[in-house]
Structure 1
């Protein structure tokens, strides 16, 4: 019998690449921002952050279903098919009117979360992914992101200062 568990996912990013880059060697992007993309909506970004921010944090709610077919994560920001779920961090330029034009994305692969960490997150209510957002060439991180590039840990969704809290 399947059962659903509410889990909060928090992505904690550091080492952002800056607001100017030319990752393809030709076109210069000069007002780079990054946000967590909603499923199927390149224009729906959660908490758009400047590329030169000290750090960035995105927090989303999802549902983890555990059943005979295995474990599956679902939610407004969870992309992909069962067994191959991921989160998109979308990079783009923001023009003077505030319009975001995506030029690259990073896929945080949720199937790479260790099973024991996901089980602990289901008990505690919080899954945390920590990663740097600058690639080896100094550009915005892109492509599929798996450990060791991202570290996944479980926490408690209890408020800070409460017994068992992550804070």
Structure 2
């Protein structure tokens, strides 16, 4: 009798262990974990933000779309699960090179490059622009240049757009 009771207890422990293993193998990676892990993968700046519409299924090949906000621009991010090993889920993150609003030059890059162009002909203290520059031939953006204590209006106008870059001309007003 004592032996039979022991066998039932061991059998019961085996069932309990199997049930725990099932609970530890996730069916989905929580949204917060996906967002934090993806931000690390894409070497995000502290000011970057990522939003996904939910968790990521814990099965190889599962996919999820998210939106990365960087410098006021939104970029699509594609996630795809590459490996699942117990409670460990790995995925690749691919950030689209063109913002969702269309090809644009971010305000920081616009100001920096415009400053470089203006600096070729005069001493420039600073350049600030009203916003990003749309990557469409003919698109314009207003900027302000401060040079030697004087403020000058600057207009940048897109001249060419190709698959690798957006180029623009700079006109300085009074």
Structure 1 and Structure 2 fold alike (TM over 0.5):
no
State the TM-score, normalized to the length of structure 1. Answer: 0.24
State the TM-score, normalized to the length of structure 2. Answer: 0.23
Structure possessing the higher radius of gyration over alpha carbons: 2
Of structures 1 and 2, the one with the larger relative CO (CA 8 A, separation 6+) is 1
